[in-house]
Amino acid sequence: MRPMSLAPLALATLVAVPAFAEDSGKKNDSIPRVICAVQAKDGTRAVQGTDLVLEAGETVKDAVAVEGNVIVRKGAVVEDVVAIQGKVIIEAGAVVKGNVISMGGDIRLRKNAHVQGNAVALGGSVNADEEATIGGDKVNFSLVFNGKELVRNFIENALDESSGCTIASDEDEGDKT
């Protein structure tokens, strides 16, 4: 088994680090959602505030979503996948050559989905259909205290609206009707 790549985790951490700068402790529902997408020269794709969908025929080194889900469709080629405060869904027939990590969300492997490395869910769970395969370790880690999932809660509180990304408010979405 090959060692876990730190590139996706490092990239995800860099995207999330500004959130640690200031935390007033208050949640404000009127704060606009942050939507950001980055494509690196090395083939890494990262998004914040939206889902990252890897379609058939796409080749991506690392796929990272912060406050969004990563969905890998059959025929997409990806090395490592990381979701922070989001789910990872590996669809039927899809293959991840490396590791899948979800921090604050679940990992879902559909029938005939393959992860050649580890599947690690911190603050969530790894759910694999009967014919899905995981080549490395399957790790679920959740810590519940007084009915609250502590890892997921920590991640939610660490992320805020601080970013250099495009900002779209929820009100803008409501105007589409």
**pTM for the structure as a whole:** 0.69
Residue 12 pLDDT > 90, yes or no?
no
Q: Which pLDDT band holds residue 40 (cuts at 50, 70, 90)?
A: confident
pLDDT bin (cut points 50, 70, 90) of residue 150 is: confident
| pLDDT for position 121 | 95
Q: Does the pLDDT of residue 16 top 80, yes or no?
A: no
Exposure b/e, 36-65, CB count within 10 A at least 16 = b: beeeeeeebbbbbbbebbbeeebebbbbbb
Chain mean pLDDT for the chain: 77
Given a cut of 70, is residue 78 above it in pLDDT?
yes
Contact 87, 67 (CB under 8 A): no
* Span 93-130, pLDDT tens digits: 899 999 999 998 999 999 999 999 999 999 899 999 99
- Does 131 score more than 50 pLDDT? yes
In this prediction, residue 149 has a pLDDT band, given cuts at 50, 70 and 90, of confident
- DSSP label at residue 149: E
